[in-house]
Amino acid sequence: MIPGLITVLLLTGSPATASGQRYSSGDPAEPSDSYWKRFAVGARVSLLAHESAHILTSLALGFHPYIAFDKGRPTVFSGIDSHTYPHKQFLFSAAGLTTQVLIDEAMLDIPHSRGGAIEGESLPAESARPSSTSPSAATAQ
């Protein structure tokens, strides 16, 4: 199990602190090194959270998960007999994606000062929405 854990840690790396991007309207819209560093840290944290969810779920169900290679790929095995405990194997299998969905929803739903491309460009701004007191809304009725 220890060699497998070392492999997962090597694949995910250690997170590094990245500074935020600062673009003015005259700067090109190309991603900077900071963007790619933050992207890499996000990918590593996401992978670590996904695999940790599998391991923690198996442990919580009373089994002994382990990490081994399957066709050259590091894989988390549940230690659960899927024929005897199909429901518990399902919980183990679903844990990683469930964790990722929760992280995605938290990133999209928790208010923050710096929105991403979807929040900044695709969603209408509060001032752009017609209100019941604006003259354009009154004439439309």
Determine the structural domain holding residue 59 and report its residue range. 1-12+49-108
Report if residue 83 sits inside a domain: yes
- For the chain, the domain total comes to 1
pLDDT, one tens digit for every residue, the chain (141 residues): 555 555 555 555 544 444 554 545 555 566 678 888 988 998 999 999 999 999 999 999 999 999 999 999 999 999 999 999 999 999 999 999 999 999 988 888 877 776 665 555 555 555 554 555 555 555 555
Report if residue 58 sits inside a domain: yes
Report if residue 36 sits inside a domain: no
Q: How much is the pLDDT for 13?
A: 53
- 76, burial (CB in 10 Å: exposed 0-12, middle 13-18, buried 19+): buried
